[in-house]
Structure 1
Amino acid sequence: MQEIDWQPTATVATLHKRARLLAAVRAFFAERGVLEVETPVLGHGGSTDVHLASLSLEATTPAGRERLWLQTSPEFHMKRLLVAGSGPIFQLARSFRDGEVGGRHNIEFTMLEWYRPGFSLDELIEEVVALIRQVLDCDPGPLRRRRYRELFRKGLGLDPFSVDLNTLRRLAGERGGLDMRDAARDDCLDLLMSLAIEPTLGREGLDVVVDYPASQAALARRHRDPEDGEWVASRFEVYLEGLELANGYDELTDAAEQRARFAEDNAARRRLGLPEVAVDQRLLSALEHGMPTGSGVALGIDRLIQLALEKSSVAEVMAFATPRC
């Protein structure tokens, strides 16, 4: 009988180091009075985001046989806790995204997510940077704030907000070696961002990218770009050594707007031939009740540990990464 590869993908020594880093994360939040919470990995709704593939299963519940969704992040449940009056909270949550396997990805992974009622986006950026520096136990270099459209202007010689779609499709197709003739605008921008811009970020310190297109707001508010009044997303992403580490939002609290965005996502899924994802109605009910204003962020803790321990892939800091799970 052929022996199945049963061994862990991380060494035991690495797992000891990982445990110490996770303890440092918990100490970071304990010092700041942020409550650690645990929320379900299963929910009645999943992520409608067209760029994420939610996993689901059939389960027997008090209501009978139901479809439940493995959470792509703990966001929806944590926001319900905010509405219930939890105050600032954080979680090291098991999260799931189908098809995401590679040096930077795993189908099942650990998401560090936290929410700060009353925090501005700038205050949250400062806290994210402080956490990263504590986990790395070194100074990764200066912090630079980079505007999304300026990165495209400098790196690709175009304004992502005004360039015509055919030009964008042609450039994305050339860069990616793909047929992008029918691609949506954001798909072209995402491809160019990942191939031409992201690898250059965080090479001389921490880069924080802000003012993404309004169409990429996801669950964030929107605001006007002071340059020309164009709507942009009130969110940021943090990069180090070409790796995206964190994605933060000035959180959307408007239930009607959130409901409309979920509907837009599922409409886009239908157009693309993707399966629809059940909308989290309990989140919408919570937002109708009233969520406090503030900011929140999701950080890929496996990636941060990978950088801290100087490993080449996230699998090397996970006990059993896919496909050895």
Structure 2
Amino acid sequence: MSQQHTQPSPWWTPSLHADRRPILLARGRIEARLRDYLASRDFLMIDPPGLQRSPGNETHLHAFGTVMIGNDGVGSPMYLHTSPEFTMKKLLAAGELRIASLGHVWRNRERSALHHPEFTMLEWYRAGEAYGAVIDDCLVMLRLAAEATNAKVLRFRERECDPFIEAERLSVVDAFARYAGIDLLATMDGEGVTDGEKLAGQMQALGLAVPEDRSWSYLFSLVLTEKVEPKLGIGRVTVLDRYPAAEAALARRAGDDRRVSERFELYACGVELANGFGELTDAAEQRRRFAGEMAEKARIYGERYPLDEDFLAALELMPEASGVALGFDRLVMLATGAPRIEAVLWAPVAQ
């Protein structure tokens, strides 16, 4: 006997849209609050293009590729950006001081309750200001989102977080010690050069499973995801600060300890909401990092993305700055208590 399979109703079904509409209207109120906040602090909203020659150069970020065909019929590979970061830093080099962007970005190989292949990112930069300033921005925005929905707490499933009380400030090193029993500094030298076998040894001593891939970065991400992140932002917001230099991405090293960097991530209800930097402006160092990231990407995934040479050239002119990217859809989720990211999107991408 053949089995009947019923497909779920699409989001545009009138009854489903009616159920979703209150959350979508709340999304609009949150957006208005955040735009007002940025405008009141003299941020200029800019509109970066999504189509780029390089989508970003981080190992585990995957882009959507396409081909741009010229008038001569010759095609050139292009990508949808995974972040507007390169464009915005070029504008800082051009002389802009406070800029923000609220728009769509694309990341391939990502779909879950908290991930969507096309999502909305709020990204902003403060030229000449330390990264504590953008941390403060983030904390204000969480409160504004809760106020826009009359929420006393942020919520993701069974987890709650009060954005109105003082946030917890926690270094990555302290977080690994507290929640995983791991001494991260013992797995790197004084310059922050990492040793995957030392990290694997600590994991084994604690009875943690160690995969075949023993690269330090992979093991770090594994412990962070499985042991640390679920404990962050429970009850109150957590600012997870001072990432190891090996995980600095586009952040500069901390002035007081070369083993760590001026990078933070913001957590509420165990959910990562934002990723921010005291921005690196050393083009040679950034090129070395990109090359290392792309070599690792080629090793793991068999592909690599081109470097944005314009971006590296612009770093020579870029002033000291701080910047942060915040997942706007996730913030709406937590402010409305939605259980999945599709619930807060006007039109989710088809499966």
Mark yes or no: TM-score above 0.5: yes
Residue in structure 2 matching 1:104, options 107, 114, 117: 114
Aligned to 1:6: 10
Q: Does 1:28 align with 2:30?
A: no
Indicate whether 1:308 and 2:335 are aligned.
yes
Q: How many residues align?
A: 320
Partner of 2:312, secondary structure, is: helix
Amino acid at match of 1:169: A
Which residue does 1:265 correspond to in 2?
293
Give the letter aligned to residue 162 of structure 1. Answer: A
User: Which whole-Å CA distance do the structure 2 matches of 1:168 and 1:80 have between them?
Assistant: 37
1:95-123 deviation line (CA, Å, top 9, x unaligned): 01101100110010000000000111112
Q: Mapping of 1:76-95 within 5 angstroms?
A: 76-95=86-105
Shift of 1:6: 3.3
Q: 1:178 to 1:159 in 2, by over 3 A?
A: closer
Aligned mates of 2:170, 2:249 — CA distance in 1: 20
Unaligned runs of 5+ in 1: none
Report the equivalent of 1:217: 248
Contact kept, 8 Å, 1:71 with 1:96, in 2: the verdict is yes
In the alignment, the residues of structure 2 paired with residue 187 and residue 173 of structure 1 have an alpha-carbon distance, to the nearest angstrom, of 15
Indicate the SS of the match to 2:61: coil
Cα displacement (A) at 1:271: 2.5
Cα distance in 1 between the residues matched to 2:23 and 2:298: 44
* CA–CA separation in structure 2 for the residues paired with 1:34 and 1:26: 9
Change (3 A) 1:106 1:3: closer
Overall identity of the aligned pairs, in %: 34
Tell me how large the CA RMSD over aligned residues is.
2.4
Asked whether 1:188 is paired with 2:219, we answer: yes
Q: 1:26: how far off?
A: 0.8
Match of 1:319 in 2: 346
- Distance in 2 between residues matched to 1:177 and 1:214, nearest whole Å: 24
Q: Which position in structure 1 is the counterpart of 2:55?
A: 46
The answer to whether the 8 Å contact 2:123/2:325 transfers is yes
C-alpha displacement of 1:321: 2.2
The answer to whether the aligner puts 1:149 opposite 2:173 as a matched pair is yes
Q: Give structure 1 regions of 4+ aligned residues with deviation exceeding 4 angstroms.
A: 2-5, 170-179
Q: CA deviation at 1:181?
A: 2.6
Q: 1:298 to 1:97 in 2, by over 3 A?
A: same
Give the equivalent residue in structure 2 for 1:165: 196
Structure 2 counterpart SS, 1:51: coil
Between stretches 215-224 and 106-115, larger displacement belongs to 215-224
Q: Tell me which amino acid in the other structure corresponds to 1:206.
A: V
1:254 partnered with 2:287 = no
In 2, the alpha carbon distance for the partners of 1:172 and 1:189 equals: 10
8 Å Cα contact 1:120/1:295 also seen in 2: yes
Closer, same or farther: CA 318–230 of 1 in aligned 2, 3 Å:
same
CA distance in 1, matches of 2:200, 2:222: 10
**TM-score normalized with structure 2 length:** 0.85
Q: Which one of 269, 286, 299 corresponds to residue 241 of structure 1?
A: 269
Q: How far does the alpha carbon of each residue in 1:242-263 deviate from its partner, in whole angstroms, 9 at most, with x for none? A: 0111111001111121122111
Assess if the C-alpha contact under 8 Å between 1:166 and 1:181 holds in 2.
no
Distance 1:211 1:4 in 2: 44
Distance 1:296 1:171 in 2: 34
Q: Provide Cα deviations, 1:128-182, integer angstroms capped at 9, x if missing partner.
A: 1111111121552321110111111111222112146346336768999976133
Q: In 1, distance between residues paired with 2:8 and 2:340?
A: 22
* SS of residue paired to 2:322: strand
Deviation at 1:7, TM superposition (A): 2.2
Cα deviation, residue 82, structure 1: 1.1
Could you tell me which of 20, 39, 46 is aligned with 1:37?
A: 46
Question: CA offsets per residue over residues 19-74 of structure 1, 9 Å max, x none?
Answer: 12111111111111100010111101122211111111012135731111110011
Indicate how the Cα distance of structure 1 residues 175 and 14 shifts in structure 2: closer, same or farther if over 3 A, else same.
farther
One-letter amino acid of the structure 1 residue matched with residue 341 of structure 2: V
Higher relative contact order (CA 8 A, sep 6+): 1
